[in-house]
Amino acid sequence: MTSEHAKLTLLLDTLQQHRGGTQETTFLSIGGRGYYENPTSQLLQFFLNPQQEHGFGNLFLECFLASLQPSPKYPLDRFLKGILSVEREVPTSDKKRLDLVLEGDDWLIVIENKIRHHENNPFESYETYVRTRSQHGIAALQVILAPFPGEQRKNWLRVTYQDFLARLETRLETWSDSKNGKWLVFAQDFVKHFQQELYTLPMNDERVRLAESYYPEIEKAEALKREYLAHLEKNFLEWVQELIKENSAKIEHSSLGSGGWGKWITCDRWSRGKLFLARYPAQEERLNIYLGVRLDELSPQEMKEALIEAEGDTLQLMRESSFTTENSLLLSSNYFESLKDVQPKLAGLVAFLDKFGRGLPHQTSP
């Protein structure tokens, strides 16, 4: 073992020991799926509805509205009156689905909840839904709830989990109603879990000493990570180009939150499909590489056939439900812990894309 390797190993061992006592166990972390979008939307559906039994009234909704950026043109107190419903997975006219829709007597709020995935949703479909619903004096807000500010999208407001959770934490600390003690524990657990799951822990004296003691090794570790990702990207692209026997393949990048990344391969022959390699941030101490495909503009019959083949014994792909729409499909493998395990799986996915990702988009008969 070289001296540099030994120092990096010591650094990683120290970080592992340091990490062990820094995060508080939560109910959601025990379940292991607490950062998935669908379970999170279910929790928000419950807590954002003042009529539910949690007993917090408008507390969650007030904190959410106070976190809106930029500030909406409507007075915020308008959206705290006359709430009728909070619904999940609300279908649009073209059968896309909105994560959350809050409806009041004279107002509407639609929320696109993003935890790990990048923003490639059918926003035009969502906007058509809102325009249809917000006629006759209805005030409407279109909101993206995500861990980080992101690029400003026209006609959409943003709420970061960081701001939303901080406001909730402050309000819940002073909550004194003893009637809802159970729900207070759950609400504080919700806040604590996502603060730990989505964001870097705050600096303290121990972390400062750690950074100062190992700063040269930290720089080398960061360089090693950059070199590894460049190596991964180069090999991924070359492996696919070798399989498709053409040079039109290219890589697109996407960020999937702190520590996450996505590498999407497109090429001329796949007019309706993409191949991806991704790493989603997780609590497990492993790399967790996922391999998969995205298909768009499928007919109902093509969707059925693609799912049967994808979920069969050969490919064993899983459907990502948060991305499945009427004619689009995202499928991913179970995770791999090493890049060398990815290459043997590529030929099957390339053949799958050649079958379902080629050709003109399906045209519906008039």
pLDDT of residue 359 exceeding 50: yes
Q: Which two tokens stand for residue 118?
A: 């990048």
Determine the pLDDT at residue 20. 44
pLDDT tens digit string along 118-139? 666 778 889 999 998 887 788 9
pLDDT of residue 61 exceeding 80: yes
pLDDT tens digit string along 71-85? 888 888 899 888 999
Return the SS3 of 255. strand
pLDDT tens digit string along 217-265? 888 888 988 899 899 999 999 999 999 998 889 998 765 655 678 889 9
Range 269-274 average pLDDT = 93
- Per the prediction, the chain carries an average pLDDT of 82
Q: The tokens 């959770």 sit on which residue?
A: 165
Residues 131 and 138: their CA atoms lie apart, in Å, by 10
**Count of residues for the chain?**
366
Return the SS3 of 184. helix
Q: Domains for the chain: give ranges and CATH numbers.
A: 27-198 (no CATH), 218-356 (3.30.1460)
| 8-state DSSP, 95 | S
Are 298 and 327 in contact by the 8 Å Cβ rule? The answer is yes
Are 121 and 89 in contact by the 8 Å Cβ rule? The answer is no
Choose from 12-21, 29-38, 126-135, 273-282 the range with maximum mean pLDDT: 126-135
Query: What torsion do the CA atoms of 313, 315, 319, 324 make, to the nearest 10 degrees?
Result: -130
- Bigger pLDDT: 270 or 120? 270
